[in-house]
Structure 1
Amino acid sequence: MHSYTYGKLVFWFCFLVASLLLSACNNQEVNNNYYLSLMGESEEWKLHGYEVEITQENFKMGNGTLNMKTKNEYATDYFHFHTHMVINEEDRTVHSGSVTGPGIDISEETTGTNEGTYLDKDGESITFNDITDIYMIVEWWDPNKHEKMEERIDLYSKSKRDQTVQK
């Protein structure tokens, strides 16, 4: 019987301590940190491992790899990508990279990373809720067609996410 009473006391003591700790947290400012690992593809390209990290102090994106879907080797003189985010209804280029030179193989390209801060019109750091779309444009020179090619890779859409959540 003594151990039963002791167990009840321990339970209520832990409950009281947890309640005090949680009530103390109510007065603190909430920091929203978001991490996305994105992937997508177009007709010729597949992107995987593209990361977006949003904290109150920092905005970081990159570390992805672009692969040509139908080629193991592709020699050209020009390759460029630029990542866009629609932030508070404004389309912004937030990350880009290029490779140029005679005969470069672009069948696999890494995106590198970009880090900084993005502010809204009031000078506040943007949050994940401010972003409605993320997409990448890939451009390259096609030596066979003698023209610049361009494809879009959709990576994130808030409207598609909201539709998925409602289902």
Structure 2
Amino acid sequence: MDKKSIGLVILVIVVAAATWWFNQDDNDQSNHYYVFNLDGESENWDLNQYKVEFVPTSHTAGGGTLHFNGERGPIVDSLNFQTYALVDGVEVTLQSESIHEPLDASTVNIGFVDNNVFKPNGDPVMFQDIEKIHAEIEWPGASGEYQTEEIVLYELRKK
């Protein structure tokens, strides 16, 4: 190759690199992928290794294990488990499971769900939009009345 050809190749590479560099956009939602591996506890429950994945147009939530605190968990006829994300001030349901059969609530494995989730204005959820992720567990207590507890799994720290 002669000097003109080498110079032309270098010029094309520099222009291509500069074009790519200047077209990078931190708000380009097609490149964002967030994974939360979460643990939390409340007075009666521990939730370990719960996972939430956000991609530009959908999310996956679930997995992990819910443990009743105490020597032995109750045998219950039903258990309701929900997780929510607070996105731009609006609570969005990530997962909702209900079990309506006798269950030893000492250890409950949480399944996975895939779903679409968007901000109230229709845009995909970005990391900075997520203010809080929490779970709610509802189960019948010894008296038969339902009890509800919240487990905070993630909360944005305000500066």
Structure 1 segments, 4+ long, off by >3 Å, are 19-25
The answer on 1:32 being equivalent to 2:32 is yes
CA distance in 1, matches of 2:120, 2:75: 43
CA contact (8 A) 2:64 2:109 kept: yes
Structure 2: stretches of 5+ with no match in the other structure: 1-9
The answer on 1:138 being equivalent to 2:137 is yes
SS of equivalent residue, structure 1 residue 80: strand
Change (3 A) 1:92 1:57: closer
Structure 1: stretches of 5+ with no match in the other structure: 1-15
The answer on 1:127 being equivalent to 2:126 is yes
CA contact (8 A) 1:117 1:125 kept: no
Give the match for residue 74 of structure 1.
74
Letter in 2 for 1:74: P
CA distance in 1, matches of 2:79, 2:134: 17
User: Greater CA deviation, 69-78 or 56-65?
Assistant: 69-78
Higher helix proportion (structure 1 or 2): 1
Give the match for residue 90 of structure 2.
90
SS of equivalent residue, structure 1 residue 125: coil
Change (3 A) 1:33 1:22: farther
CA contact (8 A) 1:83 1:134 kept: yes
Using the size of structure 1 for normalisation, the TM-score is: 0.75
SS of equivalent residue, structure 2 residue 117: coil
Q: How many Å apart are 1:135 and its aligned residue?
A: 0.7
Change (3 A) 1:23 1:82: same
Letter in 2 for 1:153: I
The answer on 1:153 being equivalent to 2:151 is yes
CA contact (8 A) 1:66 1:111 kept: yes
| Counterpart mapping for 1:97-116 below 5 A | 97-101=97-101, 103-116=102-115
Letter in 1 for 2:133: I
Give the match for residue 6 of structure 2.
none
CA contact (8 A) 2:57 2:118 kept: no
The percent identity for this pair of structures is: 27
SS of equivalent residue, structure 2 residue 35: strand
> How many residues are paired up?
142
